């Protein structure tokens, strides 16, 4: 690690430590509490996919016109597998499962992201991977679309991303659609992704001038947009290029402002920025992610007992309050990191629409109740804001049992801007064990799951291995709501 990187990490760690200590002090003085003025009730969870294959990395979206229309997607872990796509028109009680068409000449697909426009048109972005024995593997982002929940899917022939000669691979795309009634760009699609490429400057660097952190591979986060449903895309703008940025997520406010959150692999820090026209400005530090040495996976990903092979990342998610309530326009970022007791926990920060901090920056704000010295892990958080009520929902895996090797997907909610939270409620009626013999341990739960929120309730989807059968890990889902 270079001296500069070490200094940045030191500052980040110190800031987080001060914040965590301050939080515990505040809580001991009675300023932080779990107030059970409302509770979350979970409906019956259902097997969304119903397939005898391994699936993971779920995504879900709700139709802004009709909360009963849901769209979900997943990875299907098998050779030459297309993306799994699922549709419900009865609020998630029943689902129709299918596959997206494969892009021409693709050998595999990965990394689903879904969205539904204001007119009901549905979108699905994913990576198409192309394998060539002579030239190795490359990946490009593709977009599939259909007019409504009952129409046939079409994978648009032109990829949404086109690299240069120095591009190695594009990764982790995230798709968002502008549905704001007051937005000047209503209907616009936004796509964010990480590009791995060869740094041309590295070709002229002397071996004597580099340290142990040197790498010729450069990561940048890019954002592009389309005004014709994904058929053509604007030249991508660079959102971030320092610190090895990864895992960008996007959210569009009611007035059309676009927000992005991502993490830096080299420093462990979480960042958020907002758009101004087509450029992103006001890049704001959110928090630092700290991983204890015994749990670290060579950086700021953590090894948890419930997923020991595939490490979990902070997985930052950004969402915007589009409701007519008192916090209209507020921006939330949720992420996972190591708490003082050594377990993984979920945290939240709140900003105003100009990204001035309002909560959770400098004094970290935990989602859910405090734990003792031997607390379990909460990991892979997903979050969304209800555009009708302003309620913020956060879902995550929670390790259970004496060994903490099993996990159940759980959700909680806040209606006061992330200060007070309902007691987390299990969405999954049974635990999963990705450490068991026969499980796809290398894949585990994947890197992310999903939650969509509308009309006073949330619908969560997650990777679930409860069946215990070899090669059989499904997508499950459940509707949750708040009650007094």
What is the Cα–Cα distance from 365 to 343, expressed in whole angstroms? 16
**Domain definitions of the chain by residue range:** 3-483
370: confidence class by pLDDT, cuts 50, 70, 90: confident
The full DSSP string for 321-371 is: --SSSTTTT-EEEEEEEE-TTSSEEEEEEEE-TT--EEESSSS-EESS---
User: In the chain, how many H helices and how many E strands?
Assistant: 1, 32
Rounded-to-integer distance, Cα 420 and Cα 411, Å: 14
Strand order in the sheet with 66-76: 55-63, 66-76, 84-88, 96-99
What CATH topology corresponds to 3-483? Neuraminidase (2.120.10)
Average the pLDDT over each of 2-16, 158-172, 444-458, 466-480 and give the range with the smallest value: 2-16
pLDDT average, residue stretch 374-394 = 95
| CB neighbour burial string for 387-410, b if at least 16 within 10 angstroms, e if fewer | bebbbbbbbbbbbbeeebbbbbbb
User: Quick one: pLDDT band at residue 31, thresholds 50, 70, 90?
Assistant: very low
CA 393 – CA 403 distance, rounded (Å): 28
**Closest-CA residue to 95 (of 36, 51, 161, 42):** 51
Residue 50 has pLDDT above 70, yes or no: yes
Query: According to the model, what pLDDT value does residue 295 have?
Result: 82
Distance, in Å, from the CA atom of 61 to the CA atom of 112, rounded to the nearest integer, reads: 12
- In sequence order, the β-bridge partners of residue 96 are 87
In 3D, which of 81, 66, 170 has the Cα closest to residue 122? 66
State residue 35's pLDDT score. Answer: 46
Q: What values do phi and psi take at 288, rounded to 5?
A: -110, 140
pLDDT higher than 50, residue 73? yes
Band the pLDDT of 272: cuts 50, 70, 90.
Answer: very high
Euclidean distance between CA atoms 191 and 248, whole angstroms:
10
Q: Across the chain, what does the average pLDDT equal?
A: 88
Q: How confident is the model at residue 3 (pLDDT cuts 50, 70, 90)?
A: very low
Contacts of 456 (CB under 8 A, 6+ apart): 386, 388, 389, 391, 481, 482
**pLDDT per residue as tens digits for the range 386-439:** 999 999 999 999 999 999 999 999 999 999 999 999 999 999 999 999 999 889
d(CA 205, CA 210): 8
How far is 168 from 310, CA to CA, in rounded Å? 23
| pLDDT value at residue 161 | 92
φ, ψ of residue 15 to 5 degrees: the values are -60, -45
Convert the pLDDT of each residue in 91-120 to its tens digit.
Answer: 999 999 999 999 988 999 999 999 999 999
Over residues 132-161, the pLDDT tens digits come to 765 557 899 999 999 999 999 999 999 999
Given a cut of 60, whether residue 14 has pLDDT beyond it is: no
Residue 311 has pLDDT above 50, yes or no: yes
Q: Is 451 helix (H, G, I), strand (E, B) or coil?
A: strand
Q: How confident is the model at residue 216 (pLDDT cuts 50, 70, 90)?
A: confident
Which residue, among 399, 409, 405, 341, has the nearest Cα to 370 in the 3D structure? Answer: 341
> What is the mean predicted confidence (pLDDT) over 59-66?
97
The partner residues of 60 in beta bridges, in order of sequence, read 72
pTM for the model stands at 0.89
- Distance CA(62)–CA(116), nearest Å, equals 7
Which ranges of 51-176 does DSSP label H, i.e. alpha helix?
none
Q: Tell me the helix, strand and coil percentages in the chain, rounded to 5.
A: 5, 45, 45
| 115: its two tokens | 């969205």
pLDDT of residue 123: 98
Of 13-17, 254-258, 473-477, the least confident? 13-17
For residues 281-308, average pLDDT: 87
Angle at 434 between CA 432 and CA 309, to 5 degrees: 150
Short-list 268, 278, 254, 263, CA closest to 331: 254
Nearest CA to 473 out of 98, 460, 442 is that of 442
Burial class of residue 47 in the structure, from the number of CB atoms within 10 Å of its CB (0-12 exposed, 13-18 middle, 19+ buried): middle
Residue with tokens 């006061």: 416
Q: Which two tokens stand for residue 443?
A: 């894949």
DSSP assigned state of 419: S
Q: What confidence score (pLDDT) does residue 209 get? A: 52
- Name the 3-class secondary structure at 270: strand
């Amino acid at each position: 690690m270079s001296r500069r990187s070490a200094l940045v990490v030191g500052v980040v760690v110190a800031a987080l430590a001060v914040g965590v200590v301050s939080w515990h002090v505040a809580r001991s003085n009675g300023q932080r509490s779990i107030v059970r003025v409302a509770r979350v009730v979970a409906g019956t969870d259902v097997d969304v996919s119903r397939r005898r294959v391994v699936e993971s990395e779920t995504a879900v979206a709700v139709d802004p016109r009709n909360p009963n229309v849901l769209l979900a997607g997943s990875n299907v872990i098998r050779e030459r597998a297309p993306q799994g796509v699922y549709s419900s028109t009865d609020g998630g009680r029943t689902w129709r499962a299918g596959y997206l068409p494969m892009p021409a000449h693709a050998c595999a697909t990965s990394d689903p992201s879904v969205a539904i426009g204001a007119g009901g048109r549905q979108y699905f972005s994913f990576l198409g991977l192309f394998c060539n024995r002579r030239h190795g593997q490359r990946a490009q982002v593709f977009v599939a679309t259909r007019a409504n929940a009952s129409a046939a899917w079409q994978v648009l022939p032109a990829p949404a991303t086109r690299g240069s000669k120095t591009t190695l691979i594009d990764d982790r795309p995230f798709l968002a659609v502008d549905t704001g009634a007051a937005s000047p760009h209503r209907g616009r699609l936004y796509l964010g992704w990480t590009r791995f490429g060869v740094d041309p400057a590295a070709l002229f660097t002397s071996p004597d001038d580099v340290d142990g952190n040197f790498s010729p591979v450069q990561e940048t986060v890019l954002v592009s947009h389309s005004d014709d449903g994904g058929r053509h895309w604007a030249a991508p703008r660079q959102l971030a290029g320092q610190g090895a940025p990864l895992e960008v997520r996007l959210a569009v406010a009611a007035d059309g402002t676009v927000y992005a959150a991502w993490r830096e692999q080299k420093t462990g820090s979480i960042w958020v920025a907002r758009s101004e026209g087509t450029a992103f400005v006001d890049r704001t530090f959110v928090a630092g992610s700290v991983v204890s040495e015994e749990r670290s996976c060579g950086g700021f990903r953590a090894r948890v007992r419930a997923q020991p092979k595939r490490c979990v990342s902070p997985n930052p998610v950004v969402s915007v309050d589009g409701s007519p309530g008192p916090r209209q326009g507020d921006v939330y970022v949720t992420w996972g990191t190591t708490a003082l007791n050594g377990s993984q926990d979920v945290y939240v920060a709140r900003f105003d629409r100009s990204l001035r901090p309002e909560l959770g920056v400098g004094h970290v704000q935990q989602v859910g109740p405090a734990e003792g010295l031997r607390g379990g892990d909460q990991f892979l958080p997903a979050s969304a804001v209800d555009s009708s009520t302003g309620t913020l929902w956060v879902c995550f895996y929670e390790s259970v049992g004496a060994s903490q090797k099993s996990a159940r997907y759980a959700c909680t909610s806040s209606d006061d801007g992330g200060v007070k939270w309902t007691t987390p409620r299990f969405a999954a009626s049974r635990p999963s064990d990705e450490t068991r013999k026969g499980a796809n341990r290398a894949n585990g739960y994947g890197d992310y799951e999903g939650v969509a929120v509308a009309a006073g309730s949330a619908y969560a989807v997650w990777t679930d291995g409860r069946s215990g059968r070899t090669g059989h890990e499904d997508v499950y889902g459940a509707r949750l709501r708040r009650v007094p």
